[in-house]
Amino acid sequence: MTTIDPAPTGTDSTEQRKAVALEYLKRLDRGDDFFELFDEHVQFYFPKVGLTDGIEALRDAFAKIGSLLKGIKHDYAYFNYVVSGDTVVIEGTSSGQAADGTEFRAGVTHAGRWCDVFEIRGGKIHRLFVYLDPDYAGADTQRYGWLS
């Protein structure tokens, strides 16, 4: 599903914005460098990491996030896109392996469903807020007894 706002604030087209967001996710999956896709003043949010500002803080945040996973694969064919101006929202599913070796897959385990909200201008990601449960292994059973 794609919603298109005819009045984006930058010069990028809807398809160009979607392509930048998709390239970020593909590089993330491959373990390739993706930091060049971000503006140096990027604002980033990830649950349990919090809000960060700037490319160096983004690098630090991804060092923390990377410690949660051995690998991840996003299901590109099933993404839902909503685009309005500079904002690209992608709702999707993923699968992978948590750092402890526990496998996760959307629809099979509790983890793997997510939503990313991007602001993309001039071919760069200026804002990325990630919404998901970072407990990929389902280990937080003491607080959420239904997971045991």
pLDDT in tens, the chain (148 residues): 444 444 445 678 999 999 999 999 999 999 999 999 999 999 999 999 999 999 999 999 999 999 999 999 999 999 999 999 999 999 999 999 999 999 999 999 989 999 999 999 999 999 999 999 999 988 888 888 787 7
> Do 72 and 55 form a contact (C-beta atoms < 8 A)?
no
Work out the angle at residue 94's Cα, subtended by the Cα atoms of residues 87 and 21, and round it to the nearest 5 degrees. Answer: 25
Judged by phi (left if over 0) then psi (alpha if -120 to 50, else beta), residue 34 lies in: alpha
> CA distances (Å), 40 to each of 36, 101, 123, in order?
9, 34, 13
Domain made up of 14-134: CATH architecture: Roll (3.10)
So what's the pLDDT on residue 78? 95
pTM of the model as a whole? 0.89
So what's the pLDDT on residue 3? 43
So what's the pLDDT on residue 133? 92
